[in-house]
Structure 1
Amino acid sequence: MLKVEHIVKRYAEHTALDDVSIHVKKGKVFGLLGPNGAGKTTLIRIINRITAPDSGKVIFDGHDFCADDVRKIGYLPEERGLYKKMKVGEQALYLARLKGMSSQDAKAELTKWFEKFEIMPWWHKKLEELSKGMQQKVQFITTVVHRPPLLIFDEPFSGFDPVNAELLKREILQLRDEGHTIIYSTHNMASVEDVCDDIALINKSRVVLSGSVIDVKRQFSDGTFEIKAQGTREQVESLARQLKNVEVHEVLPSMNDVFLQTITSGTNN
């Protein structure tokens, strides 16, 4: 779906991207990982044609990326950019029209999303009247409403409570299952395994690691696994006897149950 090949971007004496290449597969979630300042946002801005690289190229769906392709991208920036004085529904309609939707289609699709996210009562409110979490829901909706083939989310869970973060994660995975290609940029590694199919890790302006999540885990695995089981003492001890190469690490009583945490080593058992 998207190929970024040998991108270099410099600002004065600072090199933001140094010969960066990534390949994003169609219909997958691609994790763009790395610490703050690594170059992730600069790369995303190049993909969105917000800025241009000094060298290298972007290939979109088999051809050199051009201005018309921007309509096929939905971009949720880390720094949210909605107009605080505008009414929520009016603003959402405006942004959907900018992406090429008719007024009728935009209203119908936005209504579905607003009802799904339970923010329909705020349609006629000004954005500044909404909580930060609700504002971020609106921003997410305006990013995906035109159903673009490529979606780019830069730190999408930032500022969300756990319940709404889980809601957003489910929606991202649903969009993937519907055939959308997704780039998910984050410096938080905790959610990567649940969301991403493939990853690239950028550090100090260079790609230092890339591949499928499964292959990367295998590459760095030492064959040690942690197993947690809960039940009566007899049930848990019976389970431990059935496993091979098991070392009982800790047994913790919890109410009427026993919680057994075991460490097992070996790649097959």
Structure 2
Amino acid sequence: MAGLTRRFGDRVALDGVSFSVEPGQMFGFVGPNGAGKTTTMRIIMGVLAPDAGEVRWNGAPLSFGVRSRFGYMPEERGLYPKMRVHRQLSYMAALHGVEDPDGAATRWIERLGLTERAEDRVEQLSLGNQQRVQLAAALVHEPELLVLDEPFSGLDPVGVDVLSGVLLDYARTGVPVVFSSHQLDLVERLCEAVAIIKDGRLVASGTVEDLRGPGQKVVKEVIERPTLTDLFREAVK
């Protein structure tokens, strides 16, 4: 993406945000509340339009057809609470034109440890299991890009491990995975690259190793190997 700018009235939500994500890369997008993370993700998915700048995929501007091949997990979860888990995921797969929607639903239910809850209504599930269903909904059509807004929010350690494993495995197939999170230790453990945003402006971007390495310019004090938390605290001062 290049030069994304977006205003809401007098408030500048994004101010010239630019970064790129490589194939198969786990990419963490971090920043304080209200920094512009969700706005950026909504622009990527076409939910919002930028006032300036553009998002490109494989060097070309995004179209509706290309975006339909992306997977999105919004911050405001978008499940149908009365639908049963398997039926819901099969329905989502069918909307994306999956040839065998029931089979696709079953595969992701098994992969995310939901087999025993497949016939439960979503509203009957714990928040953690609802989170797993929401991720399955983003994955059920085998997307070419995953965009996830706070996917680990509210999960217990077992849920975090399950989702982490699924995302890492999926990225290994060559699919870029972009996710926001306030759990910086988790971002540092999972991600090859990160972008740090504050007040709608990108303040640091690059591989975790480059940002933490000897030539990094984010942390001014002398720290031999700053953690992502160190970088974040310095960047958002």
Using structure 2 for the length normalisation, give the TM-score.
0.89
1:138-217 aligned at under 5 Å gives the runs 138-217=133-212
Aligned to 1:223: 224
Partner deviation per Cα, 1:59-84 (whole Å, 9 max, x = no partner): 11221111111111100112211011
Identify the match of residue 35 of structure 1 among 32, 41, 53: 32
Three-state SS of the structure 2 residue aligned to 1:207 is strand
Partner deviation per Cα, 1:34-72 (whole Å, 9 max, x = no partner): 011000000000000001000111111221111111111
Aligned to 1:250: none
Aligned to 1:51: 48
Aligned to 1:92: 89
* Paired residues of 2:195 and 2:202 also in contact (CA < 8 A): yes
Shift of 1:112: 1.9
Identify the match of residue 17 of structure 1 among 10, 14, 27: 14
Q: Distance in 1 between matches of 2:92 and 2:163?
A: 20
Q: Distance in 1 between matches of 2:210 and 2:182?
A: 20
Q: Distance in 2 between matches of 1:37 and 1:223?
A: 31
Gaps of 5+ in 1: 226-269
Q: What letter corresponds to residue 14 of structure 1 in structure 2?
A: R
Return 118-127 or 193-202, whichever deviates more.
118-127
Q: What letter corresponds to residue 185 of structure 2 in structure 1?
A: A
Shift of 1:149: 1.2
Partner deviation per Cα, 1:134-175 (whole Å, 9 max, x = no partner): 111111111112111100111111011011101111111111
Give 4+ residue runs of structure 1 displaced > 6 Å after superposition. none
Shift of 1:186: 1.7
Shift of 1:101: 0.7
Task: Select the structure with the greater relative contact order (CA < 8 A; seq sep ≥ 6).
Answer: 2
Shift of 1:122: 2.2
Q: Distance in 1 between matches of 2:177 and 2:132?
A: 18
Using structure 1 for the length normalisation, give the TM-score.
0.78
Shift of 1:115: 2.0
Three-state SS of the structure 1 residue aligned to 2:20 is strand
Identify the match of residue 124 of structure 1 among 108, 119, 124: 119
Gaps of 5+ in 2: 227-237
Q: Distance in 2 between matches of 1:93 and 1:109?
A: 7
Q: Distance in 2 between matches of 1:156 and 1:213?
A: 20
Identity percentage of aligned residues: 40
Shift of 1:224: 6.4
Aligned-residue CA RMSD (Å): 1.5
Aligned residues: 220
Q: Distance in 1 between matches of 2:225 and 2:21?
A: 31
Shift of 1:111: 1.2
Three-state SS of the structure 2 residue aligned to 1:108 is helix
Whether 1:73 aligns to 2:74 is no
